[in-house]
Structure 1
Amino acid sequence: MSFFLANFMLLTMMSGVYLAGLKSTIFIEWILGGSFVNLSVTLLLDSMSCFFLAVVLCISANVVWYSKSYMSNDPDANRFILLVLGFVASMVVLIVSPNIFSILLGWDGLGLISYCLVIYYPSKKSSSAGMITVLSNRVGDVCILLSIAWFMMVADFNLNIWTLSSDMFSNCSLISFLVMFAAMTKSAQIPFSAWLPAAMAAPTPVSALVHSSTLVTAGVYLLIRFSYLMGYGCSMSLLFISTMTMFMSGVVAIFEYDLKKVIALSTLSQLGMMMFSISLGLYEVAFFHLLSHALFKALLFLCAGILIHGVGNTQDARAFGGLVLSFPLVAVCMNLANFSLCGIPFMAGFYSKDLIVEMACQSSWGVFILFMMFICLGLTVLYSVRLAYLSFVNFKGGSGLVSVCEADYTLSGPVVILSLISLISGPSLSWLSFSFPSLIFLPVFLKWGAIFVITVSLMLMFILTRLSLIYSLKSSLLSKSSGLMWFLPWISGTGVTLVGLSKTDTVLKIMDQGWLEYYSNIVTSVYPASLNSFNLKFQHNAVKLHFMIFMVWLLLGFIYVI
């Protein structure tokens, strides 16, 4: 299966290079005839969809290969592989969809299968994580459905103008806000950020797939495709939200000890970076960062999975330490991914992140936005260096029982392949995505600003870790609020459910067991036969009755449109 995905990845990559050279778009249409209606299925193939499809299939092939050994002791490994393939298929449908209808199919498929993967290991923690994941993503599904309903009112049922390239909706602010809101839920922007670290309850291969190129990137890809809808109001809102998401995830990651959660928070930070560039109108640069980030983030998760296996299936970074002696290959590959994440020059992440920073310095959004951007860039370096220090350098918490997993080529093979691909992806994608280099004119202090921030952050984190100052903040209020992600999980989950359950108990006592029950008994005592039978049909969920009510509302809708 991984061989098939790799071959298909090579085919789509060559198609993307060919279409990028021609600057053209191909629509493939199938007409499925039936007895009543002809159904048209259209696929959109351009350089953007082909490049993204190639990256998704490349990561999927390596994840499936990696899972063969990682999930070897699982009795339901075949079911896991089928769920992963269904997850990839939903993302493929979303990538090649030319209109909002077919996008909804892939969008819903991602949400449903992600819930099945998060609750794969049955426990109370995974059940809660799966519920907050599916409910947060369901908010985005509702926004997509509302945008379809608004399309139906404006487009007058003309399906040919609902494509991604249509500009007849560019002045509709409601549709733009709905699409932006849906993208925020899928890409876990504030206030929907709580589900992303909670989804770490899924197996590590799923985390590598979800956090690199599938579920969380669907919102960014949707905004890039619907970039013609973005007005000034949406850009301002997205700029503020993405900046706060970057800052929040960076601060929280510094105080986190769970290895997978630190990497998940780094994903949240990079998603904020992509949304930040989209709000500035840099759609092509955001897509470039999306592709380069997907490759080294998948590499980071696969390396983390080998470390977790090696130290006895624990994710607490305090149980690590000195693993560079037992895992030299994984240490090299993971640090390469960390360097790319930090934006170290000539690594994959440098080509996209430095371009975003320099083009943002040319914008006119104010000094505060630039200051926050550089602060978030420094926070990325801080938690990346801290993660590498706790895992490979700090001998204080190292475990003596370490199983060397590097001899298993099924685990180390995908890591080496993704390392090589992520190393060459930065300059290669830059050359393929941009036909000519960007002309950027900046003062010297801004031109060297990103490299200066990276250097200072490296030195600062080295001093903090050596002096153990970061551990002295363990009991501070900042540490407690950061551990709870600024109380976002409480706001998204417990805070809402507690209020809702208390109110529903009141409504139950007042209405169902109160005056409604009393007066309904009075009415049914006067007309017992007819009303009792009518109530029974409703209470037993008669299918014919529900269909009749649905047809009445559908008829009223058609009458309104005509």
Structure 2
Amino acid sequence: MSKFLYNNISFLLMNLSILCFTLALMSFMKNNSTFIEWTLGGSENSITATLLFDSTSFMFLSIVLFISSNVIFYSKSYMSEDPYANRFILLVFAFVISMVIMIISPNIISILLGWDGLGLVSYCLVIYYPTKKSSSAGMLTVMSNRVGDVCILLSIGWFSILGDYNFTVWSFWSESMRSDFITYLIMLGALTKSAQIPFSAWLPAAMAAPTPVSALVHSSTLVTAGVYLLIRFSSSMNFADKSMLLFIATVTMFMSGLVANFEFDLKKIIALSTLSQLGMMMFAIALELYELAFFHLVIHALFKALLFLCAGTAIHSIGGSQDIRVYGSLVKKFPLIGVCLNYANMSLCGLPFLAGFYSKDLIIEMAAKGMINQIMLIMMFLAVGLTVGYSTRLSFYTFVDSPNGQPFSYVCDQDPLMFLPIVNLTMFSLVSGSAISWVMFSNPYSINLPLNLKMLTLVMILSGVLISLASSYPYFSKKVLPLKIVNFISSLWFFPYISSQITSYLPLKTGKNWLKFNDQGWIEECTINTISKSANASFNKLEWMQNNELKIHMLMYLIWASLAILLLK
């Protein structure tokens, strides 16, 4: 039954991906869009369903479905020993459906349906393995995303002022009724879903999910939902103050790149690279480069899914270990996987004429051309160098360094179920950068910069290699940096503790103290205990009187007789 589900769902998604890509090309050529709206129910109690199909939705749908098809096909071998394979594939399929609903929805209520579906199913997938670590990571993920859900709910209430929940109507709203409040609500919701500071802790923690889920979540679905939402709202939203979004995106880029250079968990390094690229997309949105942000979103999804699948192959082969220090010389055992992983790494770095170069270089040069804060520009260039640093470090530990772990028991280059999706993503990533840029940008960008700014990107790429050498050897970084600084950086700037322990432990401890000293303390003593003691004493007296009824009757008779004799005298 599980093989039937894997094959059919993968085949269905691949066909839909090809169809959506064809429709995307037609939409780009004709520059048109289709808006479908129909009413369900009667005239009084009717529900309006709306769908929006344009070049943006078709292109993103094709990428999401293509990656999902390959990930599901890959999971057929990766999860072959899982006794609950049917449950896994159905959860992944529900995850894809939630993302599709969000992509094609121009209605804020139906967007919430897909938005909440992503949060719920992602929680089920993060806690898929029954361990304490997975449970904690799942709770951190779902509680962080609850903030964004609340923002979307509040924005629905604000949209009710219009009488229509379609965000395309917002662009026709008069300027007198326009409010920045809903703008900040949408932005905050996008920041939580895309794990920007201060909500960054949940994204590396979500690596507790199976690797195929990580490939899907961190490439084109959950974490990109916030970026896609801002791109969708760009036509009808006027950010009152983009400097805040620019600052958050820049610090997120810098922080994730710095932490990744001190991380040794393979999947967390790739997750931090996703966080860095999400910061790059938010950086482009803050500069109003919406087309470039979407272009980088599409290109990044392809080579990031490839990077996760290659990492999953290495993890699967070495016995489940994710510590890159026990790897080494994998290129001798997995030459083809090594080539694909290194290509994805170089594309992530933005090396010239690879897929990532076409999107990242445009964003960097447009930022250098624009009038932005110089500190932000310097931090952005430093983030580019740090990206090259942790990518080079990952390749060095995994494929160049001498082997330090256990012998390899399984050669995945010979498994077509795992290798075929990697080849598909590699081939499509190779041509996607130039091909999609030709489709999306009929008029190429003309960027004139001074020679020093033009060469600064290449300088940062070369300096990133030197940074990787400094962080590749623990004794070197410990000699250069104090241990407290190393612990601060490697712990993600203490954001996991702030997000989980402070926000959960302190309220729980406060509630426990309130319960102990108030509800179970003096309040209980002054109210419940006093009443119960008085009631118990009364009940005891009544019980004694009932048990000694004859004696009491005789005693009362004697008392009344004595009183009567006294009165008669």
TM-score by shorter chain over 0.5: yes
For the 8 Å contact 1:98–1:163, the answer to whether it is kept is: no
For the 8 Å contact 2:167–2:233, the answer to whether it is kept is: no
Structure 1 vs Structure 2: percent identity of aligned residues? 55
User: Which of 1 and 2 has greater Rg?
Assistant: 2
- In 1, Cα distance between the equivalents of 2:531 and 2:50? 55
**1:394-473 aligned within 5 A:** 394-462=401-469, 465=472, 469-470=476-477, 472=479
Letter in 2 for 1:41: A
The reply on whether 1:22 has 2:6 as its aligned counterpart is: no
For 1:449-494, what per-residue CA distance to the aligned partner results, in whole angstroms no more than 9, with x for missing partners? Answer: 2122112322553576489734656872222112210000100011
- In 2, Cα distance between the equivalents of 1:166 and 1:216? 30
Letter in 2 for 1:360: A
Question: How many angstroms does 1:324 deviate by?
Answer: 0.4
**Correspondence for 2:142 among 130, 134, 137:** 134
The reply on whether 1:393 has 2:400 as its aligned counterpart is: yes
Aligned to 1:372: 379
- In 2, Cα distance between the equivalents of 1:249 and 1:65? 31
Aligned to 1:267: 274
Q: Which moved more, 1:143-152 or 1:296-305?
A: 143-152
Aligned to 1:83: 91
For the 8 Å contact 2:318–2:406, the answer to whether it is kept is: yes
SS in 2 for 1:40: strand
For the 8 Å contact 2:317–2:412, the answer to whether it is kept is: yes
For the 8 Å contact 1:180–1:234, the answer to whether it is kept is: no
Question: What RMSD, in angstroms, separates the aligned Cα atoms of the two structures?
Answer: 2.3
- In 1, Cα distance between the equivalents of 2:349 and 2:505? 40
- In 1, Cα distance between the equivalents of 2:497 and 2:149? 22
- In 2, Cα distance between the equivalents of 1:519 and 1:468? 63
The 1:469/1:145 distance shift into structure 2, 3 A limit, reads: same
SS in 1 for 2:51: strand
For 1:535-555, what per-residue CA distance to the aligned partner results, in whole angstroms no more than 9, with x for missing partners? Answer: xxxxxxxxxxxxxxxxxxxxx
**Correspondence for 2:501 among 491, 494, 498:** 494
Question: How many angstroms does 1:429 deviate by?
Answer: 1.2
Question: How many angstroms does 1:139 deviate by?
Answer: 0.6
Aligned to 1:53: 61
Aligned to 1:97: 105
SS in 2 for 1:324: helix
The 1:160/1:315 distance shift into structure 2, 3 A limit, reads: closer
Aligned to 1:9: 17
The 1:401/1:358 distance shift into structure 2, 3 A limit, reads: same
Aligned to 1:555: none
Letter in 2 for 1:57: L
- In 2, Cα distance between the equivalents of 1:347 and 1:165? 37
For the 8 Å contact 1:177–1:234, the answer to whether it is kept is: no
For 1:225-270, what per-residue CA distance to the aligned partner results, in whole angstroms no more than 9, with x for missing partners? Answer: 1124554544111111111101110111001000000000000000
The 1:466/1:177 distance shift into structure 2, 3 A limit, reads: closer
**1:86-235 aligned within 5 A:** 86-152=94-160, 154-155=161-162, 157-159=163-165, 163=169, 166-168=172-174, 171-228=178-235, 230-231=237-238, 233-235=240-242
- In 1, Cα distance between the equivalents of 2:384 and 2:518? 55
SS in 1 for 2:37: strand
**1:286-297 aligned within 5 A:** 286-297=293-304
Aligned to 1:313: 320
Aligned to 1:242: 249
The reply on whether 1:342 has 2:346 as its aligned counterpart is: no
The 1:424/1:174 distance shift into structure 2, 3 A limit, reads: same
Aligned to 1:277: 284
The 1:109/1:168 distance shift into structure 2, 3 A limit, reads: farther
The 1:87/1:515 distance shift into structure 2, 3 A limit, reads: same
The 1:512/1:462 distance shift into structure 2, 3 A limit, reads: closer
Aligned to 2:41: 33
Letter in 1 for 2:136: S
- In 2, Cα distance between the equivalents of 1:220 and 1:349? 18
Q: TM-score, normalised by structure 1?
A: 0.89
The 1:501/1:398 distance shift into structure 2, 3 A limit, reads: closer
Question: How many angstroms does 1:366 deviate by?
Answer: 2.6
Letter in 1 for 2:261: I
The 1:164/1:353 distance shift into structure 2, 3 A limit, reads: farther
Q: TM-score, normalised by structure 2?
A: 0.88
For 1:508-543, what per-residue CA distance to the aligned partner results, in whole angstroms no more than 9, with x for missing partners? Answer: 245533566578769999xx9xxxxxxxxxxxxxxx
- In 1, Cα distance between the equivalents of 2:288 and 2:422? 34
- In 1, Cα distance between the equivalents of 2:174 and 2:306? 41
SS in 2 for 1:256: coil
The 1:524/1:214 distance shift into structure 2, 3 A limit, reads: farther
The 1:160/1:125 distance shift into structure 2, 3 A limit, reads: closer
The 1:229/1:18 distance shift into structure 2, 3 A limit, reads: closer
- In 1, Cα distance between the equivalents of 2:528 and 2:474? 75
The 1:219/1:161 distance shift into structure 2, 3 A limit, reads: closer
Q: Which moved more, 1:361-370 or 1:59-68?
A: 361-370
Structure 2: which 5+ runs fail to align? 1-8, 536-569
For the 8 Å contact 2:77–2:418, the answer to whether it is kept is: yes
Q: Which moved more, 1:81-90 or 1:158-167?
A: 158-167
For the 8 Å contact 2:262–2:471, the answer to whether it is kept is: no
Structure 1: which 5+ runs fail to align? 529-562
Aligned to 1:302: 309
- In 2, Cα distance between the equivalents of 1:256 and 1:361? 30
The 1:166/1:116 distance shift into structure 2, 3 A limit, reads: farther
For the 8 Å contact 2:35–2:50, the answer to whether it is kept is: yes
- In 1, Cα distance between the equivalents of 2:529 and 2:333? 79
Aligned to 1:483: 490
- In 1, Cα distance between the equivalents of 2:430 and 2:227? 23
